[in-house]
Amino acid sequence: MQTILIGHRGEPASFPENSIAGFEAVLRAGAMYIETDVQLTADGVPLLHHDADVARLTGHDHVVMQTDFATLSRLAAGHPARFGAHFADLRLARLGDLAELLKRWPRATALIEVKQDSIAVFGVARVMEAILAELHAVFTQCVIISFQQEPLIHARAVRRLPIGWVLPQWSDAARAAAMQLRPEYLICSRRRLPVAPEPLWTGPWKWVVYTVNTVEDVLALRDRGVDMLETDTIRQLLRDMRPGGAQA
């Protein structure tokens, strides 16, 4: 069974998360899948960002949904607590910047996570309209993912895009909901997985597990039937998993 690795927010072990620099680095290293998060700014710009505020990456406490993109784009976003001044020139990027990068890597696929913070403020329709508008040129390279089912249903209905549901819990109710939704990808934190040897649910999906950063964990999850793994250290794992590396 082949193990497919996904660059989780690019490669946050080496670059500020969700940065274009990080995404480009992992694509150049041979990654075929990347994952990013999207929040909507006050003026409706889809921003590549995980948190509701930008404090971790910029040191400023602006809330994304309450701040216009022009203001946010002027902030240094090099995650100084982790990287010091090394990435002081980086800025927060918009989803359209990632779309332009994907055009240069037409065989790559991006998992685009729609965040609940923005949905709670603006509603599903407005958030998804903004996201889909910036992805229009690269729809064939995109998978829409979310903890919430509503944006997934919207993406499937409006653009017939493949979807991935991020499991909020491991339960009979979640399994029933997955069977009803029938996403192309079922995504789960490794912390929510049942203890082996309890099997993973069978269905019309590929299993995606996050976040996995060692070869040993990759191999163990592969043996359990996991198809794809999100990692913070994708370049190192790609090297280690090559024939003759740690996988051999």
Per-residue pLDDT at 243: 73
The rounded percent of the chain whose pLDDT value lies above 70 is: 98
Mean predicted confidence (pLDDT) in 227-239? 97
User: What's the CATH code of the domain at 70?
Assistant: 3.20.20.190
For residue 248, is pLDDT > 50?
no
Is the pLDDT at 187 greater than 60? The verdict is: yes
| Res 247 pLDDT > 60 | no
Q: Is residue 246 in a domain?
A: no
What confidence tens digit (pLDDT) does each residue in 21-63 have?
999 999 999 999 999 999 999 999 999 999 999 999 999 999 9
Q: For residue 44, tell me if it sits in a domain.
A: yes
Residue 82 counted as domain residue: yes
Residue 55 lies in a domain: yes
Identify whether 160 is part of a domain: yes
| Cα angle value 50/52/53 (rounded, 5°) | 100
Q: Which tens digits make up the pLDDT trace of 125-181?
A: 999 999 999 999 999 999 999 999 999 999 999 999 999 999 999 999 999 999 999
Give the pLDDT score at 211.
98
Structural domain harbouring 95: 4-240
Q: What share of the chain is helix, strand, coil (3-state, %, to 5)?
A: 40, 20, 40
In a domain, 245, yes or no: no
Q: Does any domain span residue 248?
A: no
The CA–CA distances, whole Å, from 53 to 63, 74, 109 equal 4, 15, 27
247 in any annotated domain = no
| Domains contained in the chain, number | 1
State the Cα angle at 29 between 4 and 183, rounded to 5°.
Answer: 30
| Local confidence band at 3 (pLDDT 50, 70, 90 cut-offs) | confident
